[in-house]
């Protein structure tokens, strides 16, 4: 795991609303409700859910597995199984040729679509699942969340599961959002809103 070992990628979020009361029972219940569900025995292409940070195979969420004092930490597990269009088309061509040989007639458009769905389903059932686990740290006292990982798609997955788990929004701490949080005492939001790019370059302004 990258927080414990190796280089860390970090995306920071601001928690947009205050929770009325953040108890261990509440967190356990919400994490369990949105816990990771395995897709190994299915043909599902993706599953996203919470796991214990130190044991990605466990979704019990006993208090000691997520409550580390000032920080609540959990794993966001993303399992995916992908079959590329190129692979599907290759096996579809073979299946069409076989079917047409058997019936001695070209397949209709509908038959080809049905066959494609069957081929895809069959390939998915034979494709192993790839598992990724991203650590998530929540600092309730600072209304801040860390996602140990990056990229727009992963951010969206976190924002979605966060909202459905805790019914509160997250906003990425881009420079403007961070500037609002760190605004010097003698400056106002208007000062920040009015700020425009500097004429740093070649006298352009």
Partner 1 sequence: MDLVDLIAEKKFLGQEFLTWVWYQSDVNSGLIEVPGCGTLEIWFEERLVLETGAGNSRQLVTCQGRDLDLAEARTAVREGKKVSQAKLRLKLDGQEYKMTIKAEGLELSGVQAPKTLEMEEEEQDNLAGRLIDRIAVIKELVRTLDALYARFLSLRLGPDWEETVVASLRKWLKEN
State yes or no: residue 197 binds partner 1 (CB under 8 A).
yes
Q: 3-class SS at 22?
A: coil
Strands 72-80 vs 46-52: parallel, antiparallel or unpaired: antiparallel
Q: How far apart are CA 161 and CA 158, in angstroms?
A: 5
Query: Pattern of binders to partner 1 over 140-179, x per CB under 8 A?
Result: ----------x--------------------xxxxxxxxx
> Does residue 109 touch partner 1 according to CB under 8 A?
no
Nearest partner of 50 among 187, 175, 161, 204, judged by Cα? 161
Question: 26: helix, coil or strand?
Answer: helix
Nearer to partner 1, 20 or 197 (CB): 197
Nearer to partner 1, 9 or 89 (CB): 9
Residue 154 · residue 132 · CB < 8 Å? no
Total interface residues for partner 1 by CB under 8 A: 42
> How do 170-172 and 72-80 pair as beta strands?
unpaired
Report if residue 71 touches partner 1, rule: CB under 8 A.
Answer: yes
For binding to partner 1 (CB under 8 A), which residues are involved?
A: 3-4, 7-12, 53-54, 64, 68-69, 71, 73, 137, 150, 171-179, 182-184, 186-187, 191-192, 195-202, 204
């Amino acid at each position: 795991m990258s927080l414990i070992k190796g280089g860390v990628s970090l995306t920071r979020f601001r928690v947009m609303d205050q929770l009325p009361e953040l108890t261990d029972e509440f967190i356990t219940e919400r994490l369990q409700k949105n816990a990771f569900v395995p897709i190994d025995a299915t043909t599902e292409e993706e599953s996203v859910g919470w796991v214990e940070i130190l044991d990605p195979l466990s979704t019990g969420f006993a208090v000691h597995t997520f409550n580390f004092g000032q920080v609540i930490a959990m794993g966001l597990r993303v399992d995916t199984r992908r079959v590329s269009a190129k692979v599907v088309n290759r096996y579809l061509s073979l299946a069409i040729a076989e079917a047409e040989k058997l019936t001695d007639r070209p397949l209709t458009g509908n038959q080809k679509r049905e066959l494609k769905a069957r081929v895809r389903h069959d390939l998915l059932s034979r494709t192993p699942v790839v598992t990724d686990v991203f650590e998530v740290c929540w600092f309730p006292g600072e209304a801040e969340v860390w996602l140990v990982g990056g990229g727009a798609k992963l951010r969206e997955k976190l924002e979605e599961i966060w909202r459905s788990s805790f019914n509160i929004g997250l906003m990425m701490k881009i420079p403007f959002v961070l500037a609002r949080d760190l605004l010097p005492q003698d400056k106002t939001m208007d000062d920040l809103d009015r700020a425009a790019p500097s004429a740093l370059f070649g006298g352009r302004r």
